Amino acid sequence: MEEMKVAVEVVEASDLMPKDGHGSANPYVEAELAGQHQRTATVFNSLNPSWRQTLVFSIPDPSSLSDLTLDLSLYHEPHPPSPSLRRHSLGRIRLSVASFSPSPSSAPVLRFPLEKRGLFSRVSGDVSLRLYHLQADDKPPEMPPMEKPTMEKPSKPPVRVFHSIPSDQAKKPAAPGPTTTTASAAKSDPPPPPTVILPVPVRPPQSEYGLIETFPPIAGRLGYRAKDKISTTYDLVEQMQFLYVNVVKARDLPNMDVTGSLDPYVEVKLGNYKGVTKHLEKNQNPVWRQIFAFSKDRLQADRVEITVKDKDVVKDDFVGKLHFDLTDVPLRVPPDSPLAPQWYRLENKKGEKLNHGELMLAVWIGTQADEAFPEAWHSDAHSISLDGLANTRSKVYFSPKLCYLRVQVIEAQDLVPSDRSRSPDVYVKVQLGNQLRRTRPAAIRSVNPTWNEELTFVASDPFDEHLIITVEDRVASNKDEPLGRLTLPVAGAPQRLDHNRPIPAKWFNLRDPSADLDEEKKKESKFSSKIHLRFFIDSGYHVLDESTQHSSDLRPTSRLLRKPSIGILELGILDARNLMAMKAKDGRATDAYCVAKYGPKWVRTRTILNSLTPRWHEQYTWEVFDICTVITIGVFDNCHVTKAKDDAKDQRIGKVRIRLSTLETDRVYTHYYPLLVLQPSGLKKTGELHLALRFTCTQWVNMISLYGRPLLPKMHYTVPLSVHHLDYLRHQAMQSVAVRLARAEPPLRREVVEFMLDADSHMFSLRRSKANIQRINSVLSSFGAVARWFDAVCKWKNPVTTILVHILFLILVCFPELILPTIFLYLFMIGIWNYRFRPRKPPHMDTKLSYAEFAHPDELDEEFDTFPSTKPSDIVRMRYDRLRSLAGRVQTVVGDLATQGERAQAILSWRDPRATTIFIMLSLIVAVLLYVTPFQVVMVLVGMYLLRHPKFRSKLPSVPFNFYRRLPAKSDMLL
The predicted pLDDT at position 225 comes to 46
Spatial contact of 561 and 540, defined as CB atoms under 8 Å apart: yes
The predicted pLDDT at position 166 comes to 41
| Mean pLDDT value of segment 887-906 | 81
The predicted pLDDT at position 567 comes to 93
| Mean pLDDT value of segment 634-642 | 89
The predicted pLDDT at position 48 comes to 87
Share of the chain above pLDDT 70, in %: 87
The predicted pLDDT at position 952 comes to 82
175 pLDDT tier (thresholds 50, 70, 90)? very low
The predicted pLDDT at position 64 comes to 74
Between 26 and 168, name the one with better pLDDT.
26
The predicted pLDDT at position 203 comes to 36
The predicted pLDDT at position 156 comes to 38
Between 86 and 916, name the one with better pLDDT.
916
- Residue 462: is the preceding peptide bond cis (ω within 30°)? yes
| Mean pLDDT value of segment 65-72 | 82
pLDDT digits (tens, 9 = 90+) for 421-458: 888 889 999 999 889 999 999 989 888 999 999 999 99
Say how far apart CA 342 and CA 723 lie, in whole Å: 62
Spatial contact of 157 and 180, defined as CB atoms under 8 Å apart: no
What count of Cα atoms within 13 Å lies in the side-chain half-sphere of residue 805? 19
Between 226 and 736, name the one with better pLDDT.
736
Say how far apart CA 9 and CA 22 lie, in whole Å: 29
Check pLDDT > 70 for residue 179. no
Spatial contact of 219 and 231, defined as CB atoms under 8 Å apart: yes
Check pLDDT > 50 for residue 162. no
Between 388 and 873, name the one with better pLDDT.
873
Say how far apart CA 142 and CA 185 lie, in whole Å: 9
Region of poorest pLDDT, from 27-31, 773-777, 925-929: 773-777
Say how far apart CA 580 and CA 652 lie, in whole Å: 11
pLDDT digits (tens, 9 = 90+) for 520-539: 555 554 567 899 999 999 99
pLDDT digits (tens, 9 = 90+) for 460-479: 988 888 999 999 998 876 78
| Mean pLDDT value of segment 216-225 | 73
C-alpha closest to that of 624 among 718, 555, 710: 555
The predicted pLDDT at position 191 comes to 44
Task: Give the pairing type, strands 495-496 and 530-538.
Answer: parallel
pLDDT digits (tens, 9 = 90+) for 705-728: 888 888 889 899 888 988 888 888
Check pLDDT > 90 for residue 802. no
Residue 600 has phi, psi (to 5 degrees) of -80, -5
Say how far apart CA 592 and CA 686 lie, in whole Å: 12
The predicted pLDDT at position 455 comes to 93
| Mean pLDDT value of segment 797-824 | 85
The predicted pLDDT at position 857 comes to 77
pLDDT digits (tens, 9 = 90+) for 333-391: 766 788 889 999 999 888 888 888 899 999 999 888 888 888 888 887 777 777 778 88
Spatial contact of 339 and 332, defined as CB atoms under 8 Å apart: yes
Q: Which residues pair with 796 in a beta bridge?
A: none
Residue 615 has phi, psi (to 5 degrees) of -120, 110
Check pLDDT > 70 for residue 160. no
Spatial contact of 377 and 390, defined as CB atoms under 8 Å apart: no
Return mean pLDDT, the chain. 81
The predicted pLDDT at position 200 comes to 34
Spatial contact of 673 and 844, defined as CB atoms under 8 Å apart: yes
Residue 828 CB burial class (10 angstroms; 0-12, 13-18, ≥19): exposed
DSSP 101-119: BSSGGG--BEEEE-B-SST
148 pLDDT tier (thresholds 50, 70, 90)? very low
Check pLDDT > 60 for residue 143. no
CA dihedral 326, 331, 337, 340 (to 10 degrees): -20
**Size of the chain, expressed as the number of residues it contains:** 975
How far, in Å, are 211, 595, 685, 697, 758 from residue 632 at the CA level? 16, 8, 18, 20, 10
The predicted pLDDT at position 571 comes to 94
The predicted pLDDT at position 521 comes to 54
pLDDT digits (tens, 9 = 90+) for 490-528: 998 999 988 888 889 999 999 887 765 555 555 554 567
789 pLDDT tier (thresholds 50, 70, 90)? confident
**742-750 CB contacts, 8 Å cutoff, 24+ apart:** 744/395, 744/397, 745/390, 746/390, 746/391, 746/392, 746/393, 746/395, 746/604, 748/395, 748/397, 748/595, 748/602, 748/604, 749/649, 749/650
Say how far apart CA 251 and CA 319 lie, in whole Å: 12
| Mean pLDDT value of segment 160-183 | 38
Task: Give the pairing type, strands 435-438 and 426-432.
Answer: antiparallel
Spatial contact of 622 and 724, defined as CB atoms under 8 Å apart: no
pLDDT digits (tens, 9 = 90+) for 558-590: 989 999 999 999 999 999 999 998 888 877 888
Say how far apart CA 761 and CA 547 lie, in whole Å: 8
How far, in Å, are 41, 67, 91, 166, 379 from residue 36 at the CA level? 17, 15, 20, 8, 59
Share of the chain above pLDDT 90, in %: 25
The predicted pLDDT at position 114 comes to 85
pLDDT digits (tens, 9 = 90+) for 248-300: 999 988 887 766 778 899 999 988 888 888 888 888 889 999 999 998 877 77
Say how far apart CA 680 and CA 865 lie, in whole Å: 9
The predicted pLDDT at position 773 comes to 79
Between 238 and 67, name the one with better pLDDT.
238
C-alpha closest to that of 528 among 576, 484, 590, 471: 484
- End-to-end alpha-carbon separation of the chain, Å? 62
SS3 320: strand
**Longest CA pairwise span in the chain (Å):** 122
78 pLDDT tier (thresholds 50, 70, 90)? confident
84 pLDDT tier (thresholds 50, 70, 90)? low
